[in-house]
């Protein structure tokens, strides 16, 4: 009995081998995974934000835009272009041209996407819409003999049936225009295309850096010469008396096929004129005063009521075939414009980056 009493207490039974295996099974791979993700994030973060990193080779429809630092905006122009401020942008790739009708048609064919302009009227979203806006359609430019400053925007009409397929409304088409920029594109249409194409819309800073094509603080994407000086046309804009009659001295009254004018220093076509191009950024007229220096991505939201905005707006850049030197000079690389995300018109398209 005494022997029995002095027997050492048996150790607690070991956990079954299966349980021990299970705990080791997740612990080691989990640690490795955490380490791997942290490492990849660190590399990705560094490469995305390093302006000196070499640009990746571009696919055929895109060009590589190197990173760099430039002066964005100006102090002697419209209030929303001030203050001039230094911005650094990392390298990226940009579509050499505005997204064409042919490219947009491929997207629609693949996805059955319906653009904002083609959608049935939504009385819940737009309870106060006037009767004429209650059919699918979009804004179309109609020439008229008015003094533009006293009749701002009077030349825009809502055309029933206008869409990227029928840019000027019922009875018009894009037949034979595969190489024209796709227009009547709302911001959300552009964003949907970009996502499908594995791309994204450019930030406003990327857009302006690319538009300047390596030229520092020049008024135009191509330098100092005025459009048409010496008979050389650099951009598809408006000649003649705006908005009554586009004389088309640059060869086009209205849109032009992409690549109809020479590229800028970055190898990009139509960064000035032809069609407005949507950017990723929300619009805030005071953003330049608070913009970070490195890779600015715009404010968190669009402003309301600052300039009479009833909806938050996204930035668009580059001007269009309707720009001229008297009324709309916004075909300059630093000029800004904006519109609500659901708005479209026959002078507004886009291009993508990645």
Query: Does 250 contact Ca ion by CB under 5 A?
Result: yes
| C-beta closer to Ca ion: residue 148 or 202 | 148
Residue matched to tokens 């194409």: 197
The β-bridge relationship of strands 313-317 and 137-141 is unpaired
Q: How many of the other CB atoms lie within 10 Å of CB of 64?
A: 15
Query: Does 272 contact Ca ion by CB under 5 A?
Result: no
CB neighbour class for 20 (10 Å; exposed up to 12, middle 13-18, buried from 19): exposed
| Of 252, 261, 283, 350, the one binding Ca ion by CB under 5 A | 252
| C-beta closer to Ca ion: residue 296 or 319 | 319
Query: Does 236 contact Ca ion by CB under 5 A?
Result: yes
Exposed e or buried b per residue across 278-296, where buried means at least 16 C-beta atoms within 10 angstroms of its C-beta? bbbbbbbbebbeebeeebb
The edge-to-edge listing of strands for the beta sheet with 337-340 is 337-340, 313-317, 276-282, 348-349
Q: Measured from the CB of residue 72, what is the shortest distance to Ca ion in angstroms? A: 27
Q: Measured from the CB of residue 289, what is the shortest distance to Ca ion in angstroms? A: 35
Interface with Ca ion by CB under 5 A: which range of 12-20, 104-112, 252-260, 335-343? 252-260
| C-beta closer to Ca ion: residue 191 or 322 | 322
Rounded-to-integer distance, Cα 206 and Cα 202, Å: 6
Q: Measured from the CB of residue 274, what is the shortest distance to Ca ion in angstroms? A: 8
SS3 category, 287? helix
Query: Does 281 contact Ca ion by CB under 5 A?
Result: no
Q: Where are the beta strands (DSSP E) in the chain?
A: 62-65, 68-72, 85-89, 92-95, 137-141, 156-160, 276-282, 313-317, 337-340, 348-349
Contact map string, positions 291 to 330, toward Ca ion, x by CB under 5 A:
------------------------------x---------
Q: Measured from the CB of residue 223, what is the shortest distance to Ca ion in angstroms? A: 20
Query: Does 270 contact Ca ion by CB under 5 A?
Result: no
Residues that bind Ca ion (CB under 5 A): 236, 250, 252, 321
């Amino acid at each position: 009995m005494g022997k029995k009493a002095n027997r050492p207490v048996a150790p607690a039974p070991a956990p079954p081998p299966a349980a021990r295996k299970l705990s080791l099974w997740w612990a080691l791979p989990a640690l490795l995974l955490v380490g791997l993700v942290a490492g990849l994030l660190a590399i990705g973060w560094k490469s995305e934000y390093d302006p000196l990193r070499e640009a990746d080779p571009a696919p055929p429809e895109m060009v590589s835009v190197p990173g760099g630092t430039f002066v964005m905006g100006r102090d002697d122009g419209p209030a929303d272009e001030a203050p001039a401020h230094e911005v650094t942008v990392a390298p990226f790739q940009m579509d050499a041209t505005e997204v064409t009708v042919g490219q947009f048609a491929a997207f629609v064919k693949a996805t059955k996407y319906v653009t904002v302009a083609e959608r049935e009227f939504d009385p819940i979203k737009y309870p106060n819409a006037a009767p004429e806006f209650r059919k699918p359609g979009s804004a179309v430019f109609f020439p008229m003999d008015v003094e533009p400053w006293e009749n701002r925007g009077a030349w825009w009409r809502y055309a029933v049936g206008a869409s990227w397929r029928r840019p000027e409304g019922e009875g018009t088409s894009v037949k034979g225009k595969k190489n024209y920029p796709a227009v009547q594109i709302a911001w959300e249409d552009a964003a949907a295309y970009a996502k499908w194409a594995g791309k994204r819309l450019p930030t406003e800073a990327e857009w302006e850096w690319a538009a300047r094509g390596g030229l520092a603080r020049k008024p135009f994407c191509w330098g100092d010469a005025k459009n048409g000086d010496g008979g050389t046309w650099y951009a598809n804009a408006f000649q003649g008396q705006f908005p009554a009659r586009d004389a088309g001295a640059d060869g086009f009254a209205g849109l032009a096929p992409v690549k109809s004018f020479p590229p800028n220093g970055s190898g990009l076509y139509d960064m000035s004129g032809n069609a407005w191009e949507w950017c990723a950024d929300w619009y805030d007229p005071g953003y330049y005063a608070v913009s970070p220096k490195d890779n600015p991505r715009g404010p968190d939201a669009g402003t309301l009521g600052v300039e009479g905005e009833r909806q938050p707006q996204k930035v668009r850049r580059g001007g269009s075939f309707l720009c001229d030197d008297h009324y709309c000079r916004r075909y300059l690389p630093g000029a800004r414009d904006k519109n609500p995300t659901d708005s479209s018109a026959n002078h507004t398209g886009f291009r993508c980056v990645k």
